[in-house]
């Protein structure tokens, strides 16, 4: 077992019982304050640990870290050190925060400077994103969409169970949680019209996803195997792949998503490491027919992460509209990365690979409004008495997620975004 994952560990930092960020988590992110430029930090309870301060004051001496690795606008250079080195850093941070370790605990001056309350910081996008790929890895979601727009008997396209379907999205429009987005405009083909119209989307939607971030670069022509995939993955984030369904429906044939997707995607600010998620591995769905040899994986390669979606109207109360789980994903991260690179496509540090919408087997576990309202036919009822078929101006969509086992809760924080009127 990884030492930092020990469920018996306690911290001298006050961590509320249901916090997303106990000592067993220690996710990495980038933050700033009134007095600090963007720097790297780690979440613990209601605080952020300033990694630049720790580095500059000798707390990481002996780890062989390059100068300035934490004093950056993004985590890319730190992630590029590789899983072995970043694991050492996480283990050292865990040691410093342990209740029975006095090195930082009893150094009052250092402790007060290194620990910053979360209400005094602003979280930023954690990585510089060179490339972004979105997969389509939930069988339940693919079946629902196929049933809606084709035929339940032919809901899944012939290739779906043979390969992880994906498309290349727009890296430049990935934003950090809390960023407002304007309703997108584009061409829409109305049912009673022979020609399209140009207008704001009337069917704006969210997509409940997680994404993994890569921490290695490969050469063009090289490929990553399912066995080696996780050594190339730093961690996971929550991800909202906002979707304008009406724009998408008109444009996606023959080349796939474009304007219906690229106006914005929202990422949670804290990267939960694969190491922290190690205790929550589970077996994924049975794959039939048998996948080709390059997609074969062994052991538990899915994660038991509980996902929740909330919709909050302007000046209104949150309503929980969906509960799902990453364990439902048909294609795991190892298979996604192996398939992505099997043709020789190179990867880069900070690349984002989103799972695609994660839907479960029951209506309450669907990961999009398209499914929850069945393309607007079954409106959702909110706490304030209003209804939703799709997202309205002023609505905020919030994702929350955590894994829990043996009394340890590993959370992701929030992935939040508000929709403003079209410009």
Per-residue pLDDT tens digits for 173-205: 999 999 999 999 999 999 888 999 999 999 999
> If you search the block for the tokens 């140009």, which residue do you land on?
198
pLDDT at 202: 97
What are residue 384's phi and psi, to 5 degrees?
Answer: -80, 5
Q: Which residue has the higher pLDDT, 41 or 149?
A: 41
Q: What average pLDDT does this structure show over 40-69?
A: 98
Share of the chain residues as helix, strand and coil, in percent rounded to the nearest 5: 25, 25, 50
Question: Are both 142 and 290 inside the same structural domain?
Answer: yes
- pLDDT tens for 350-396 read 999 999 999 999 999 999 999 999 999 999 999 999 999 999 999 99
pLDDT at 191: 86
Q: What average pLDDT does this structure show over 32-50?
A: 97
Question: Are both 102 and 140 inside the same structural domain?
Answer: no
Percent of the chain with pLDDT over 70: 100
pLDDT at 151: 86
Question: Are both 142 and 268 inside the same structural domain?
Answer: yes
pLDDT at 271: 99
Active site residues: 141
SS3 of 349, please? coil
CB-based contacts of 414, cutoff 8 Å, min separation 6: 177, 238, 268, 398, 399, 400
Question: Are both 179 and 219 inside the same structural domain?
Answer: yes
Q: What average pLDDT does this structure show over 93-120?
A: 97
pTM: 0.98
How many domains does the chain contain in total?
Answer: 2
pLDDT at 53: 98
Question: Are both 116 and 136 inside the same structural domain?
Answer: no
- pLDDT tens for 346-363 read 999 999 999 999 999 999
Question: Are both 415 and 340 inside the same structural domain?
Answer: yes
Question: Are both 151 and 118 inside the same structural domain?
Answer: no
Q: What average pLDDT does this structure show over 17-28?
A: 97
Band of the pLDDT at 137, cuts 50, 70, 90? very high
Q: What average pLDDT does this structure show over 129-149?
A: 97
Q: What average pLDDT does this structure show over 122-146?
A: 98
Last residue of a domain, one of 95, 124, 153: 124
- CA 410-416-419 angle, to 5 degrees, is 165
CATH of the domain at 116: 2.30.30.230
Asked whether the CA dihedral 245, 401, 82, 281 is positive or negative, the reply is negative
CATH of the domain at 325: 3.90.850.10
Last residue of a domain, one of 93, 124, 155: 124
CA atoms of 213 and 300, how far apart (whole Å) = 20
Question: Are both 83 and 139 inside the same structural domain?
Answer: no
Question: Are both 233 and 352 inside the same structural domain?
Answer: yes
Last residue of a domain, one of 97, 124, 151: 124
- pLDDT tens for 219-267 read 999 999 999 999 999 999 999 999 999 999 999 999 999 999 999 999 9
Cis amide bond preceding 289, omega within 30: yes
Question: Are both 55 and 169 inside the same structural domain?
Answer: no
Range of the domain at 102: 3-124
Question: Are both 203 and 101 inside the same structural domain?
Answer: no
pLDDT at 1: 80
- Computed over every residue of the chain, the mean pLDDT equals 97
Question: Are both 11 and 108 inside the same structural domain?
Answer: yes
125: nearest Cα among 261, 272, 267: 267
């Amino acid at each position: 077992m990884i030492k930092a994952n020990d469920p018996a560990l306690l911290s001298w930092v006050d961590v509320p019982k249901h916090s997303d960020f106990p000592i067993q988590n220690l996710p990495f992110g980038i933050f700033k304050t009134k007095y600090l430029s963007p720097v790297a930090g780690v979440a613990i309870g209601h605080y952020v640990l300033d990694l630049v301060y720790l580095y500059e004051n000798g707390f990481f001496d002996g780890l062989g870290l390059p100068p300035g690795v934490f004093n950056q606008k993004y985590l890319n250079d730190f992630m590029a050190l590789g899983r072995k080195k970043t694991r050492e850093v996480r283990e050292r941070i865990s040691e410093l925060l342990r209740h029975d370790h006095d090195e930082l605990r009893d150094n009052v001056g250092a402790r007060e400077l290194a620990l910053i309350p979360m209400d005094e910081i602003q979280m930023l996008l954690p990585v510089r994103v060179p490339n972004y790929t979105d997969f389509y890895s939930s069988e339940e979601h693919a079946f629902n969409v196929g049933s809606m727009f084709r035929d339940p008997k032919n809901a899944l396209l012939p290739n779906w169970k043979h390969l992880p379907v994906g498309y290349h999205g727009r890296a430049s429009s990935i934003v950090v949680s809390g960023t407002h987005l304007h309703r997108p405009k584009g061409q829409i083909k109305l049912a009673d019209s022979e020609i399209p119209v140009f207008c704001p989307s009337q069917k704006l939607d969210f997509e409940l996803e997680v994404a993994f971030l890569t921490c290695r670069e490969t050469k063009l022509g090289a490929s990553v195997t399912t066995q080696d995939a996780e050594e190339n993955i730093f961690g996971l984030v929550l991800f909202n792949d906002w979707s304008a369904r009406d724009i998408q429906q008109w444009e996606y044939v023959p080349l796939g998503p474009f304007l219906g997707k690229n106006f914005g995607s929202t990422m949670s600010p804290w990267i939960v490491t694969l190491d922290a998620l190690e205790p929550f591995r589970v077996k994924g769905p049975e794959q039939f027919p048998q996948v080709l040899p390059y997609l074969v994986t062994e052991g538990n390669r899915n994660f038991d992460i509980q996902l929740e979606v909330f919709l909050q109207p302007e000046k209104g109360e949150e309503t929980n509209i969906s509960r799902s789980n990453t364990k439902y994903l048909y294609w795991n991260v190892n298979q996604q990365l192996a398939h992505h690179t099997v043709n020789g496509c190179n990867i880069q540090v900070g690349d984002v690979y989103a799972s695609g919408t994660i839907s479960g087997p029951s209506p309450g576990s669907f990961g999009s409004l398209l499914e929850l309202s069945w393309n607007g036919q079954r409106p959702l009822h909110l706490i304030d008495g209003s209804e939703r078929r799709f997202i309205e101006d002023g609505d905020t969509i919030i994702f929350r997620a955590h894994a829990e086992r043996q009394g340890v809760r590993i959370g992701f924080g929030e992935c939040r975004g508000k929709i403003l009127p079209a410009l």
